[in-house]
Structure 1
Amino acid sequence: MSSQHLIEYEDANPEVRAVYDDIMHTRQVEQVNNFWKCLAGHPPTLRRTWESLKEIMAPGALDSLTKELIYVAVSVTNNCPYCIASHTAAARKAGMTDEMFGELQAVVGMANETNRLANGYRVPLDEAFKLD
């Protein structure tokens, strides 16, 4: 679905509105962002994606800030500007500071560099690192 086709709340069918209402309630926001409006063109994908994201991002063994930091890191690695912006905003809302963001980017950059080196050199896995 093209980004030109965003389903606004007032134009949404009842199934989509129910998901939008849950997003706004859960996130304590007044409107849904464009990602959800775009997915609303296919309500089953909208509902499935929201339910999965809501479950995964809920506090658990990892707190909300840690989960958002991981999401930012993966989004940077996957080169998704939308997700970088969205989850950086969520991380800031959860307490991320400028210093934390800087360190996160340093770790992401280093991990990507060393991953490429290890892959390029085909470094054999150490016995101590193997899982039982």
Structure 2
Amino acid sequence: MSTIKLPENPEANPRVKAVFDDIRATRKSDFINNFWLYLAFDPALLEETWQGVKSVMAVPSALDPLTKELLYIAVSITNSCRYCVHSHTAAARAKGMTDEIYADLLRVVSTAGRTNQILNAIQIPVDEKFEADT
């Protein structure tokens, strides 16, 4: 259950409508998902969040779109964000993620989680070589 109410007719607010129109144009889809619909309760927060997401996820960069989605899934799994796991898994599938790629991603995420927990528990010092190479 949400901690806020879904705004009624959010596009009656011109700021919200402008963001939603930009989401539609950027994604080439008429679908506005619940994340954006609920964020419309505060137009400033909606605008800030969309600009941040758009600048990272929709603007071409050194990472290809599928890799960005895979990273988003990995972080969402780690942060236990059920909504983001589902939405970015759907986005990754739309960008070409196969079941084989998804299985590999899950292997990496679970392996990293396990080894991170062991390292955090033991507090092993970082090798000087790793420190020098960064």
TM-score range, shorter chain: over 0.9
2:103, 2:8 → 1: CA distance?
35
AA at the equivalent of 1:120: A
Alignment partners' CA distance in 1, 2:34 and 2:48: 17
- Corresponding position of 1:46: 46
Does 2:92 align with 1:91?
A: yes
TM-score normalised by the chain length of structure 1: 0.93
1:4 CA drift (Å): 5.4
CA deviation after TM superposition for structure 1 residue 29, in Å: 1.3
User: Structure 2, unaligned stretches of length 5 or more?
Assistant: none
What letter corresponds to residue 27 of structure 1 in structure 2? R
Contact 1:75 1:81 in 2 (8 A): yes
User: Is 1:22 matched up with 2:4?
Assistant: no
Q: Secondary structure at the match of 1:5?
A: coil
Contact between 2:10 and 2:37, CA under 8 Å: does it hold in 1?
A: no
Q: Identify which range, 66-75 or 51-60, moves more after superposition.
A: 51-60
Quote the Cα distance in structure 2 between the aligned partners of 1:33 and 1:12.
17
Read off the aligned partner of 2:49 and give its amino acid letter: T
Measure, in 2, the Cα distance between the counterparts of 1:37 and 1:3: 14
Mark the runs of 5 or more structure 1 residues left unpaired by the alignment: none
Q: CA deviation at 1:28?
A: 1.2
**How many percent identity over aligned positions?**
51
CA RMSD across the alignment = 1.5
Q: Distance in 1 between matches of 2:108 and 2:9?
A: 39
Residues 7, 38 of structure 2: 8 Å contact kept: yes
Contact 1:9/1:20 (CA < 8 Å) preserved in 2? no
Match of 2:105 in 1: 104
Q: Distance in 2 between matches of 1:77 and 1:46?
A: 24
Pair 1:12 & 2:15 matched = no
Count of residue pairs the alignment pairs up:
131
CA distance in 2, matches of 1:8, 1:32: 14
